[in-house]
Amino acid sequence: MRPLKIPAACLAALSLGAVAAPAAAQDVGQLNGLNTTLQLNELRAQQQLLQQQQVAQHNELMALEARLRTDQHVARIQQERQPVRLPALPYPAPAAALGSLDTSKLPQIPDAALAASNRRVQEISKNRN
């Protein structure tokens, strides 16, 4: 059997491949780490975007609520400005009824009887003190 003759170029390629294998594995590890970092950064950006959208939505809701309260207050003030309608009276106005009052039909108490009643009330109130 003859000894194998390996050309120098093949030997150089094999030695470079042996040296490059750990470097390639190192590059894959770095790429995995880089991918993980990129994924984390992307998730953080998505969270930040969602938080900004939530704040914007909250601000919009607060503005709508303030507008609603303002509209309600304006409507209440406009309603208060309207003149008040009083209901129609089912009986005649008092001024018309007083002009036709006949006092002769009212009961009459003599002045002496009123004076005597007043005197009795005064005496009773003095006894209580």
Q: What is the pLDDT of residues 41-75, one digit of tens each?
A: 999 999 999 999 999 999 999 999 999 999 999 99
Q: What is the pTM of this model?
A: 0.39
Closest CA to 10 of 23, 24, 18, 25: 18
- 46-82: b (≥16 Cβ within 10 Å) or e: eeeeeeeeeeeeeeeeeeeeeeeeeeeeeeeeeeeee
